[in-house]
Amino acid sequence: LHRGEKDEVERPGISFFFNPRSIALVGASEKEGSLGRAIVENLIKRGFQGKIFPVNPAFEVILGIKSYPDIMSLPETPDLSVVLIPAKDSPRSLESHGIKGIKNVIIISAGFRETGESGRKLEQEILRIAKRYRIRVVGPNCLGVFDNVSHLDTFFVPEELVKRPAAGVIALASQSGSFAGHAMDLASFEHLGICRVITYGNRIDVNEADALDYFSNDPNTRAVGIYIEGVDRGREFLAAAKRCARIKPVVVLKTGKYEATRAGITSHTGVIAGSYAAYKAAFVKAGLWEADSLESFIDFLKATTLLPLAHGKRALIVGHAGGLGLTMADHCISHGLEVPKIDGLLLKKLKEIALPYASVLNPVDLTASGTDEQTRLVLNQAIVESDRFDLGIYLALWGLPQSSDRIGRIILESMRASGKPIVVASLSGETCLRKRDVFESIGVPVFLSLQRAANVAALLAQRAGSGGSPSAGNRH
């Protein structure tokens, strides 16, 4: 990890990549189905309010916007330029950017280091030009930036293929464009609001450390998700990750965990990835939350912004289903949680609350005839009033009475009154998805499989157990 540290000169910030007042689009096009057209369309569609300058000698107007033959003929120096011309033409283009005084360039184009020796040379050439003119570069071989605050969107993938998520408090950084796109699509499906996304591909300049530093200081960002294949300035990354994790939770997904996949990374973005053990140790040291799949990446980001930490691992499971309550208990235990039996006075109290044929030993199965009010009373006795449990798990399944919005409020109130998380588990059938929507509309996150919910619950318990993220206590 501590390899390849380079010149650590003070570099200008990257805020214009997210908030440009004006933007040049080099390689914009009106041609149906072209990437150059998709980017112009997406910018218009998102409602970007700054000036847009398409650059392409083949057009005088692109989608109703005046186009310019080259960078030099632009009427002003834009804050940002997005380049999507063939790799071999990019050095000449970057040179004119420098002469024109443009300081922030996103190079979307592929065909650099990831394709072999000649691409690597091309990349070194643009890096030299960028340094000479003090241009900050995002990319090449990336999708650039999506921003729900400034309405910037340089992703060339149309909305029909990648649904843009609603505005929210999560910022994402990713080497891989495909990862970022799918995380955004999944975030939309999962009701996870996003403020900003940056992808940097081959990452010749702007990297993880820049993104983490920017997000640390960004008032719109409350938690950060970062996808990593390999880091080539290890110390810089570790320092930035520590700084950021001290202020807000950072969830990381690392790919290339095995020898075989590390080799693949080189051909993908030209990075040589170090051993996974070294990364894992660094993540722990920096205080990051490590996810092991795209789904847990999204789930952990949801949890970290909407749920408090658990101060222990004793879980109470409450629902209206016997078999699935037991399956939930199995998943909890296999994730390192405890599902202690209820006895003594608490057992007596819960028996008074529940129906005679309900089971209240933990898992608590209130049965399909159980009511909202019974759920409220059970949570109140076992989670709010008692110190026997550190967290609750609620099964929002079909046994749930129709009034699920009331249950959502009961869960919110129990969390507020107890300071303990209640993790809501569901499944992905249609009925469950409808119920999920009701819960999430009032800010109660729902996790769409029992296993995923157990994974989240275990993380919340583990984070508190290990000292946790220092910001965790006041996340609510």
Residues 51-110 that bind a second copy (CB under 8 A): 110
Nearer to a second copy, 103 or 435 (CB): 435
Cβ–Cβ < 8 Å for 21, 51: yes
Count the alpha carbons within 13 Å of 108 in the hemisphere toward its beta carbon: 22
Q: Which is nearer to a second copy, 142 or 282 (CB)?
A: 142
Mark residues 386-415: x for contact with a second copy by CB under 8 A, - for none.
-----------xxx----------------
Residue 336 in the binding site for a second copy (CB under 8 A): no
Under the criterion CB under 8 A, does residue 186 sit at the interface with a second copy? yes
Among 81, 90, 93, 176, binds a second copy (CB under 8 A): 176
Q: Which of 46, 222, 320, 335 binds a second copy (CB under 8 A)?
A: 320
Toward a second copy, which CB reaches closer, 70 or 125? 125
* Residue of the chain from 82, 157, 250, 410 that contacts a second copy (CB under 8 A): 157
When asked if residue 181 is in the footprint of a second copy (CB under 8 A), the reply is yes
Counting beta carbons within 10 angstroms of the beta carbon of residue 56, is it exposed (0 to 12), middle (13 to 18) or buried (19 or more)? buried
Give the Cα separation of 198 and 201 in Å (integer): 10
* All residues at 6 or more sequence positions from 57 whose CB lies less than 8 Å from its CB, including other chains: 69, 70
The answer to the question of residue 154 lying near a second copy (CB under 8 A) is no
Tell me whether the omega of the peptide bond preceding residue 140 falls within 30 degrees of 0, making it cis.
yes
Which pair of tokens denotes residue 467?
């000292």
Rounded to 10°, the helix 404-418/430-441 angle is 50
| Minimum distance from residue 339 beta carbon to a second copy (Å) | 5
Size of the site for a second copy (CB under 8 A): 79
Alpha carbon distance 186, 139 (integer Å): 24
Complex with a second copy: residue 80 or 265, whichever CB lies closer? 265
Pair 339, 328: CB distance under 8 Å: no
**Sole binder of a second copy in the list 217, 275, 403, 428 (CB under 8 A):** 428
Contacts of 131 (CB under 8 A, 6+ apart): none
Task: Cis check for the bond before 363: say yes or no (omega within 30 of 0).
Answer: yes
User: Could you tell me which stretch among 88-96, 202-210, 216-224, 339-347 binds a second copy (CB under 8 A)?
Assistant: 339-347
Residue 155 engages a second copy in binding (rule: CB under 8 A): no
* Peptide bond preceding 421 in cis form (omega within 30 of 0): no
Q: How far is the CB of 226 from a second copy (least distance, A)?
A: 12
The stretches of 101-199 forming alpha helices (DSSP H) are 117-132, 177-189
Beta-carbon neighbour count of residue 333 at 10 Å? Answer: 14
Does position 139 interact with a second copy (CB under 8 A)? The reply is no
What sign does the dihedral 397-402-406-410 (CA atoms) show? negative
Q: x-or-dash pattern for a second copy, window 243-282, by CB under 8 A?
A: ----------x-xxxx-xx-xxx-xxx-------------
The least CB distance from residue 315 to a second copy, in Å, is 10
Contact 276, 240 (CB under 8 A): no
Q: Does 427 bind a second copy (CB under 8 A)?
A: yes
Interface region with a second copy, contact rule CB under 8 A, candidates 1-9, 145-153, 154-162, 281-289: 154-162
| Contact string (CB under 8 A) for a second copy, positions 280-299, x = contact | -------------xxx----
Amino acid at 391: L
Member of 331, 420, 436, 463 binding a second copy (CB under 8 A): 331
d(CA 287, CA 209): 15
Residues 352-381 that bind a second copy (CB under 8 A): 356-357, 359, 361-363, 365, 367-368
CB of 464 to a second copy, least distance (A): 21
Of 42, 93, 175, 374, the residue at the interface with a second copy (CB under 8 A) is 175
- Of the pair 326, 384, the CB lying nearest a second copy is at 326
Tell which one of 307, 432, 453, 456 touches a second copy (CB under 8 A).
Answer: 432
Q: Name residue 14's amino acid.
A: I
| Residues in 190-249 at the binding interface with a second copy, rule: CB under 8 A | 227, 229
Secondary structure (DSSP) of 52-76? EEEE-TT-SEETTEE-BSSGGG-SS
List all residues 6 or more positions away from 116 whose beta carbon is below 8 Å from its beta carbon.
none
Could you tell me the two tokens for 392? Answer: 């609750």
